[in-house]
């Protein structure tokens, strides 16, 4: 069976980047069709913290940022990988994207009160204002369409379905010491109980789930059609221009003719095993927390249409340490260790030799890059987070909640290893006991002085932000001394890929001769990242992804108007 459709613009991929592109086009008056391979929208963005890195937006504190500051910072971070034309385009368009969405849709952001850039000591870095988070969203307004929203990772929810953010975590941990925190916590539980009467999970959404829910709700309000469970087989071209695509949905082939072209936003290749083996570092874990649909589909159809692919950058991806645990349903939980445990006082990371190899409080990308270096001689081994009983009670560890709530189950499943002494712990996890004891003892000395002489933990504003403000003499450094002791195996994984289709400043896909393919755009992780494998701050995948989705849709609309087709 076959079908035909004609639209102004076809967008392939229903993550934050693709939905931003489709929503922008709809606001600008285009007849848009959004195609999503899975049966839900949101992609990896729905599983993420939802941070959006946007310099100099309307949410930046007045006078604290500027385009020149952001340029200096990115130039310092990227070095010889700095793409002046595209970076300038991003810095100019990103605040426009935020204002456009907030003025015309249900999308809403707010700046973190204090969130330093990851390379906080470099020229142009800021301590706040660039990192935006989505405002929490009440998904009950979606009604039955709530089921079409990609859920967050189960491990990011409490009680099987209640989402919480950093503010909520603080209140929950302080509920027995503060009436305000107790009231906030009781409100969360009451709201969650009411939601479960109507929905299979809580409808109060935060982080990345709130972001994609706001985008999805806005698309529904504008009646943008979305084809779910639809595969893009190939792009169609005529006279050097991309004119549509051949799709397949439920056994039916659909030929879509698009006057304004096609925007590819399928999420990169993190879940394509063959591409991982070919393009990512050999010591990288084969498992990723990225959405399962990120199979490189957009890159493949773009390449078949004559697109040029980027040269390899610093590993072709963005990294994070992860821990692994088998869920009750048999699926594998891949838990990214972003901010909640590594940088807190009283935990250290050691390699298979029992030695520290990095500051535990640096950003997750550089932490995992250090893991790849440490594991170069033994790529089949994990590294370990080591802590004591006081730490795991106060902060938890990975998927173990603070207060040891689910510690017994984690021990039974082998997710966490416990031992009465450091020597016994080392033996249980297969690392040299004497080396581990020496490492812990040396770190205890750093806890007394407040100075990490090994790796400079807590030496910049970003690292100190991850610690505990009341820890003395340093917020990130604490001794490991109260038995029993714990170890958690961690692996270097990716949270997105940076290698992809080369584009220009308008997000147009380029040919080998660097000329643009008319009518073909890419954004998100299908597009070769302007960050080129570097990680300047939180949200440097979603921020540019949404921005270039906005840029692509705006350019396509402008082209249609110029040609008289709109």
CATH number of residue 353's parent domain = 3.90.700.10
Average pLDDT, the chain: 95
Q: Report the predicted TM-score, pTM, of the whole model to 2 decimal places.
A: 0.95
* Token duo for residue 226: 């979305």
Residues 398 and 289 in one domain: no
* pLDDT for the residue 175: 87
CB 246, CB 233: distance < 8 Å = yes
Residues 250 and 292 in one domain: yes
**Of 476, 494, 512, at which residue does a domain stop?**
494
The band of 312, judged by pLDDT with boundaries at 50, 70 and 90, is: confident
**Of 439, 463, 494, at which residue does a domain stop?**
494
Residues 334 and 287 in one domain: no
Q: What is the mean pLDDT of residues 346-367?
A: 97
Q: What is the pLDDT of residues 151-185, one digit of tens each?
A: 999 998 999 899 988 888 888 888 888 999 999 99
User: What are the residues facing 6 on neighbouring strands?
Assistant: 257
| E strand residue ranges, 265-346 | 317-326, 332-336
**Of 453, 469, 494, at which residue does a domain stop?**
494
Residue 220 in any domain: the answer is: no
* Token duo for residue 179: 């009436």
Residue 388 in any domain: the answer is: yes
pLDDT at residue 365 tops 80: yes
* Token duo for residue 303: 């390449």
pLDDT at residue 303 tops 70: yes
Residues 326 and 358 in one domain: yes
What is the C-alpha separation between 68 and 73, in angstroms, rounded? 9
Report the DSSP pairing between strands 332-336 and 317-326: antiparallel
Structural domains in the chain (count): 2
Residues 362 and 470 in one domain: yes
pLDDT at residue 490 tops 90: yes
Task: Give the residue numbers spanning the domain of 513.
Answer: 226-317+495-563
Find where tokens 């082998």 sit: 414
Report the DSSP pairing between strands 416-419 and 137-138: unpaired
Q: What is the pLDDT of residues 6-36, one digit of tens each?
A: 999 999 999 999 999 999 999 999 999 999 9
Q: What is the pLDDT of residues 111-120, one digit of tens each?
A: 988 899 999 9
Residues 310 and 325 in one domain: no
Residues 355 and 504 in one domain: no
Q: What is the pLDDT of residues 276-296, one digit of tens each?
A: 999 999 999 999 999 999 999
Residue 49 in any domain: the answer is: no
Residues 359 and 485 in one domain: yes
Q: What is the pLDDT of residues 371-394, one digit of tens each?
A: 999 998 888 899 999 999 999 999
Residue 152 in any domain: the answer is: no
What is the C-alpha separation between 364 and 321, in angstroms, rounded? 7
Find where tokens 């040029």 sit: 308
pLDDT at residue 313 tops 80: no
pLDDT at residue 1 tops 60: no
* Token duo for residue 484: 């029993």
Q: What is the mean pLDDT of residues 245-249?
A: 96
Q: What is the mean pLDDT of residues 51-73?
A: 95
Question: What whole-number percentage of the chain has pLDDT above 70?
Answer: 100
Residues 442 and 519 in one domain: no
For residue 167, give the H/E element and its range.
helix 166-173
CA dihedral 148→149→150→154, nearest 10 degrees, is -110
* pLDDT for the residue 227: 97
Residue 79 in any domain: the answer is: no
What is the C-alpha separation between 517 and 509, in angstroms, rounded? 6
Rg of the chain taking only CA atoms, in angstroms:
24
Q: What is the pLDDT of residues 193-215, one digit of tens each?
A: 999 999 999 999 999 999 999 99
What is the C-alpha separation between 219 and 196, in angstroms, rounded? 25
Residue 379 in any domain: the answer is: yes
Cα-based distances in Å from 25 to 20, 177, 400: 8, 50, 43
Residues 424 and 501 in one domain: no
Among candidates 51, 14, 16, which has minimal Cα distance to 547?
Answer: 16
* pLDDT for the residue 235: 98
Residues 257 and 241 in one domain: yes
CB 14, CB 558: distance < 8 Å = no
- Mapping DSSP to helix (H, G, I), strand (E, B) and coil, where does residue 57 land? coil
Indicate which CATH number applies to the domain containing 283: 3.50.50.60
Sequence-separated (6 or more) residues with CB below 8 Å from residue 554: 24, 28
Select the more confidently predicted residue: 551 or 283: 551
Residues 294 and 439 in one domain: no
* Token duo for residue 408: 């017994």
Chain centroid to CA 13: how far? 16
Q: What is the pLDDT of residues 388-446, one digit of tens each?
A: 999 999 999 999 999 898 999 999 999 999 999 999 999 999 999 999 999 999 999 99
* pLDDT for the residue 339: 84
What is the C-alpha separation between 242 and 233, in angstroms, rounded? 14
Q: What is the mean pLDDT of residues 247-268?
A: 96
Residue 65 in any domain: the answer is: no
Residue 470 in any domain: the answer is: yes
């Amino acid at each position: 069976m076959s079908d035909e459709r004609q639209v102004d613009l076809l967008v392939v991929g229903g993550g934050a980047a693709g939905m931003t592109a489709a929503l922008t086009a709809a606001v600008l008056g285009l007849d848009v069709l959004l195609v999503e391979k899975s049966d839900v929208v949101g992609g990896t963005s729905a599983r993420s913290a939802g941070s959006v890195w946007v310099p100099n937006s309307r949410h930046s504190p007045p006078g604290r940022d500027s385009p020149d500051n952001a340029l200096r910072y990115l130039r310092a971070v990227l070095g010889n990988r700095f793409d002046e034309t595209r970076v300038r385009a991003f810095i100019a368009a990103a605040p426009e994207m935020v204002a456009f969405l907030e003025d015309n849709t249900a999308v809403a952001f707010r700046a973190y009160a204090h969130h330093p850039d990851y390379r906080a000591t470099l020229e142009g870095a800021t301590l706040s204002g660039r990192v935006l988070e989505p405002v929490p969203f009440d998904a009950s307004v979606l009604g039955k369409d709530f089921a079409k929203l990609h859920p967050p990772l189960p491990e990011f929810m409490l009680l099987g379905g209640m989402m919480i953010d950093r503010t909520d975590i603080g209140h929950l941990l302080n509920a027995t010491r503060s009436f305000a925190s107790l009231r906030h916590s009781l409100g969360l539980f009451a709201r969650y109980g009411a939601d479960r009467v109507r929905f299979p999970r809580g409808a109060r959404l935060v982080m990345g789930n709130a972001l994609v829910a706001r985008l999805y709700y806005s698309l529904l309000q504008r009646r943008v059609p979305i084809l779910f469970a639809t595969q893009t087989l190939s792009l169609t071209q005529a006279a050097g221009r991309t004119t549509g695509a051949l799709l397949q949905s439920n056994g039916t082939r659909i030929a879509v003719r698009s006057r304004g072209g096609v925007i590819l936003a399928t999420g990169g290749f993190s879940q394509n095993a063959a591409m991982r083996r070919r393009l990512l570092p050999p010591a990288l874990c084969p498992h990723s927390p990225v959405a399962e649909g990120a199979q490189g589909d957009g890159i493949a159809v773009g390449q078949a249409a004559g697109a040029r692919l980027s040269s390899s950058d610093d590993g072709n991806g963005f990294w994070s340490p992860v821990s692994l645990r088998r869920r009750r349903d048999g699926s594998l939980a891949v838990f990214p260790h972003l901010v909640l445990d590594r940088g807190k006082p009283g935990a250290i990371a050691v390699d298979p030799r029992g030695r520290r190899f990095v500051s535990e409080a640096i950003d997750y990308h550089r932490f995992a890059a250090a893991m790849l270096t440490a594991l170069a001689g033994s790529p089949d081994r994990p590294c370990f987070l080591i802590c004591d009983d006081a730490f795991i009670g106060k902060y938890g560890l990975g998927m173990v909640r603070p207060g040891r709530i689910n510690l017994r189950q984690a021990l039974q499943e082998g997710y966490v290893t416990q031992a009465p002494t450091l020597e016994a712990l080392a033996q249980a996890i297969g690392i040299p006991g004497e080396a581990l004891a020496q490492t812990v003892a040396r770190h205890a000395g750093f806890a007394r002085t407040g100075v990490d002489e090994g790796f400079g933990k807590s030496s910049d504003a970003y690292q100190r932000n991850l610690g505990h403000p009341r820890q003395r003499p340093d917020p990130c450094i604490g001794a490991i001394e109260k038995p029993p002791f714990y170890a958690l195996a961690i692996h270097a994984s990716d949270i997105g890929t940076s290698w992809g289709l080369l584009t220009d400043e308008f997000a147009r896909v380029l040919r080998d001769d660097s000329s643009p393919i008319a009518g073909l755009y890419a954004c998100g992780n299908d597009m070769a990242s302007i960050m080129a494998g570097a990680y300047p701050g939180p949200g440097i995948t979603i921020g540019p992804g949404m921005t270039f989705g906005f840029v692509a849709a705006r350019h396509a609309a402008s082209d249609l108007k110029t040609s008289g087709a709109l």
